[in-house]
A and B are shown apart, each in its own frame.
Chain A
Amino acid sequence: MELIQLAVPVLLKGLWVTAALTLVSVLIGFNLGLGLALMRLSSNRFAIGFAKYYSNVFRGTPLLVQIFIFYYGLGEVSLIRNNAVLWWVISDGSRCAVLALALNTAAYTSEILRGGLMSVPAGLVEAAQACGMSRLLRFRRIEFPLAIRQALPAYGNELILVVKGTSLASTITVLEITGYAKRLMSQTYAIFEIFAIAGMLYLVVNLLLVAAVRSIERYLMRHEARARQGVSTPLLDGTVTV
């Protein structure tokens, strides 16, 4: 009981750090991933090559190595040490962790979104072209909404991987849930109890994320729910909005 009183407030403090790390890196990572997916599907050979190598390198090496390269390694390069902005990013553990996590999740996200974008039927895109939609409008109204619908379940899994990835920030001095948990474990020797509480926090975060993804999915698939209820929907009324 005493232990819970000691551990829970500390771990909750870590929870906010974990949540912040996740949120920022997902926001950056999603946009980068979208960009990479579009590069991969473009007709520019260099863009395709770059996106492919990027995703292979970041998916083929452990996140821990990436974090260490950014935190310990890049400081050695004088070009970065002398650049004020880059040094600002590199010099702090949590900024570094966000950078590594964002670049890492961008690689996985690009694969997921690429799959989603490739699943958009060519006929729909051609129809939009025939309607005279500009490329941007076509992407915003037709391709992206359909792709995200397809990609969302896989993206939900990726979000959980990001939450778990934030635990590695504890290796570069950022105190989030795992960092505090390790410290508490070595202070109290109540290893299993601390693990249980910290693990519970992670499970709650993941559960909330899964619930959020589910509700977004339901929102995006509301046309199907309506169809199932038998409410008359003007088929293909063309209002694909996001």
Chain B
Amino acid sequence: MEFGLWQIWDAGWVGAILRGAAVTIAVGLLSMVAGLLIGIACGLIKWARIFPLSLLVDGYTSVVRGVPELLVIYLLFFSSVEFVTKVITAFGYAGLAESGYAFVIAVIAIGAISGAYSTEVIRGALASIPSGHIEAARALGLPGSRIFRRIIAPQMLRIAVPGINNVWQTTVKDTALVSVVGLQELMRTSYIGANSTRHPFIFYLIAAVVYLVITLVSQAGFDGMERLLRLRARR
């Protein structure tokens, strides 16, 4: 085991793992952004109870939050794989199917999952804005778009920060699941490394440490942001 680590260093696995970690962070960030956009739209719909749409949103959040992430990933991946490969090969980019396609589907799948959780966070934050603030803005004759920009959005974002922190942490951890459909992110890289060097313990331990670093660093970042927002609010 002692020279297991040497082997890993010599064979350039450290670089591969760091590349994998970069892919993990990229998938995480992109799906988080996609999820937040979904969350803000769906959260607003749910909060304002826009009739037929709110039913759809209710269905979406309760299905995605109640069904295992893995199953959602299988659905999105298997249902699209044939179609997309056909289209890509028809256009003569068969090689692209390997790398780009898995990444796009991963972002869509994780974004959809993250979006369902974001929706609930945003809805909760919206619900905790005192209705008097909105009524007062309306009484002043502010147009709806400006009420949203000046009154609703700033308060909502501040209240939502701890919830968004939670969603981000689960989103990062969920990206590990797309490894099962072949995207070469951190988990997949460790899997390949574990199989080719026969040192699964070291590789998965390294993966765990890298995930831990990502979550701890982002936790510290969010803590700092919360402190900043609290200071601003007090003034």
Contacts and interface: CB of A to CB of B under 8 A. Distances in A.
B68 A178 contact: yes
A65 B67 contact: no
A164 interface: yes
Nearest to B213: A60
6 A-B pairs with least C-beta separation:
A167-B68, A73-B201, A62-B176, A72-B200, A62-B173, A60-B215
| Interface size grouping (class) on chain A | 35 or more
B176 A73 contact: no
| Interface size grouping (class) on chain B | 35 or more
Contact of A164 (B67, B202, B203): B67
A96 to B, nearest CB: 13
Contacts, number: 123
A61 interface: yes
Interface string A38-71: 0000000000000000001101111111101100
Interface stretch (A2-10, A24-32, A132-140, A198-206): A198-206
B73 to A, nearest CB: 10
B67, B205, B216: residue with the most chain A Cβ atoms closer than 10 Å: B67
**Chain B residues touching A, majority SS:** helix
A73 B216 contact: no
**Chain A residues touching B, majority SS:** helix
A199 B199 contact: no
Given A61-B208, A65-B208, A68-B204, 20 more contacts: A56-B216, A59-B215, A61-B215, A62-B172, A62-B174, A62-B187, A68-B190, A68-B191, A72-B201, A73-B194, A73-B200, A73-B202, A76-B202, A77-B201, A163-B68, A191-B74, A198-B67, A198-B71, A202-B68, A203-B66
